[in-house]
Amino acid sequence: MQPSWLHRAVFCARRCLPASSRLSSNPNCLPSEHASTRSVANAAAELTPESPPGPNLPVMLKTRRVPIMLYAPPEEVETEALKQLIAVAESPLPVGFVSAMPDVHLGKGVTIGSVFASEKYVCPNAVGVDIGCGMCAVPMAGLHKDDLDMDKKRRIQALVKQRIPTGFNEHRAPLPGAWEAIDRMSGEKPPTRRLEREIGTKKKIPNQLGTLGGGNHFLEVVCDEDGMVWIMLHSGSRNVGNTTAQFYDRLASDLLAKRRLRSYPGLNYLEIESEEGRQYLQDMLWCQAYAMNNRMFMRDIMIDVMNEVTGRLPEMERSINIHHNYCNCERCQYTDPTTGEAVDKMLWVTRKGATSAQPGQYGIIPGSMGTGSYITRGKGQPKSWSSCSHGAGRKMSRTKAVRAIHQEAFERAMKGVVCDTNRKVRDEAPQAYKDLNEVMANQRELVEVVHRLMPLVNVKGF
C-alpha cells in the first residue's frame, strides 16, 4: 500500500497547472560526432503552426526533499511515473532538483525521461539496463528521396536486414575490425577485471558489435525537409550493457542491506567514492564506448548498402552519434530552487531516456516508426540539466498496445514506408506513442529544430 503523502503529492501535481495552460490528453565523457551547423528555417516553421501552444513549462512539483522540474502537463503523466519521479526526488541521489522531459513515462525502477545530478551517488537503474543506448544519423551526399524508387527502397531494406542481425541474433563471427575496436575502447576506457574476463570469454560481446536488438531499436532511411536522404539508427550496448547493469544493481542492493541503509524501490545506489561505485562507473564507461562503436559498425554497414544501391557516399563531417542512457561528469551551473543559491560544480549527471542539449550541441529526437524524427540543437537550459527528450515517449504499454491497436490500423499508419508490419512489432505502432509535435512544443526552451526527418525505409527486430 502506498503511503498517504505519496497520494497527496500526485494529487497536487495534477492540480498545479491552470486550466488555460493545459494541453489535451488525447491523441561519459565520450565526445559525440556532430552535424552541420546549417539551420533550416522552414523546419522550425513547420513545427510552429502544427503544434499547440506549449504550456508554461517547467512545472515545479514540490516533494519532501528536492523539487521536480516537469516539462510536461502533470495531468498527462502516468500516476505511476509521477510516483517514480517523487521517489527519486526524495532519495539521497539528486542535488538541486530532478528534471522530467516531455516524453517522460514509466520505466524500470526509474522513470524514462528523467535527469538528475549527484555529487555522491550513482544508481545503475537510473542509467538504465541498456547502458549507452542512443542514436546515430548521417546524410548521404547528393541523394534525394526522388532518386529512390520503390525497387531501390525494397532492395535497401532487404540488404540491411540481411547484413545487420536483429532481435536476439548476432554475427556468426566478429566483424572485421571488431576486436580492434574492443582493444581500442578497452585502452581508452579500461574495464574492471570482472568485465575484462567476460570480454575474453563471451563470444556474444564481439559478435554483437554491429547488431540492432529489438524493442524500440530501429534502422531507417529518412529524408529531410529538402528531400535529402539520411540514414538513422537507434541501438545500445546489447547484452553486455544489460548484464553489467544487472550485476551492479544486485551489488548495490546487497551493500545497502549489509550496511543497513534505507533502500528505495528500484533505486539501489552506490557511493561514487566507494570501490564498488568506482568499479560501476569504470564498466559503465566501457559499455557506453561499446554502444557508440556498435552504432558506428551498423552505420558503416548501412553506408555500404546505400553506396551499393545508389552509388552515393555519406557526408561524414555531419555525422551524429549520441547516447541517451548514460551518466557523465559535467560542469553544472544552476540556481538551487529551494535556497536560491547559485551553484557551480562538477557533478555526475544521469540521463535515462534523455538527450544532452548543451548550448549548440546536436541531438536526435526520434518519434515512432511512422512519424519521423528531428535533428536538434541544444540551448543549455539549466532547469533541464541541459537535456531534452530522447523521443516521443510511449503512451501505451506494450501489452496495452497489442490489445488496443488493430493490425489493420497499424498497417494503415505505416502506409508509404517500406517496412515490416509483422504482428510481432505491433507494440511499436505509431499509435502506441505520444504526439511528437506536442513533445517538441513542450521543449521549445530546451532545443531548436535543425532538420525534420520523415521515414522512407524502416527495419526493426522481432
Helices 178-188/275-310 angle, 10° precision: 150
390 is catalytic: yes
SS3 for 234?
strand
Of 346, 362, 309, 286, the residue nearest 127 (C-alpha): 286
Query: Among all chains, which residue has been given the C-alpha cell 541541459?
Result: 386
Instruction: Classify residue 239 as left (phi > 0), alpha (psi -120 to 50) or beta.
Output: alpha
Whether 221 contacts 333, CB under 8 Å? no
- 275/148 Cα distance (integer angstroms): 54
Is beta strand 228-235 parallel, antiparallel or unpaired with respect to 387-389? unpaired
A 10 A CB-CB count for 331 gives: 10
CA distance 165 to 159: 11
Name the nearest CA neighbour of 212 among 383, 32, 386, 461. Answer: 461
Contact between 170 and 207 under an 8 Å Cβ cutoff? The reply is yes
Residue numbers belonging to the annotated binding site for Mn(2+): 130, 217, 234, 324
Q: Is 63 left (phi over 0), alpha (psi -120 to 50) or beta?
A: beta
Find the catalytic residue in 105, 171, 390, 451.
390
Kindly state the cell numbers that stand for 439.
513533445
Annotated binding site for GMP: 216-220, 324-325, 366-369, 373, 390-393, 460
Pairing of strands 270-271, 354-356: unpaired
Quickly list DSSP for 269-296.
-EETTSHHHHHHHHHHHHHHHHHHHHHH
Q: Where are the beta strands (DSSP E) in 285-409?
A: 320-323, 325-335, 342-352, 354-356, 362-366, 373-378, 387-389
Task: Specify the amino acid at residue 74.
Answer: P
Say how many Å lie between the first and final Cα of the chain, rounded: 37
- Which residues, 6+ apart, have CB-to-CB distance to 31 below 8 Å? none
In this structure, the strands spanning 342-352 and 373-378 are: unpaired
State the catalytic residues: 390
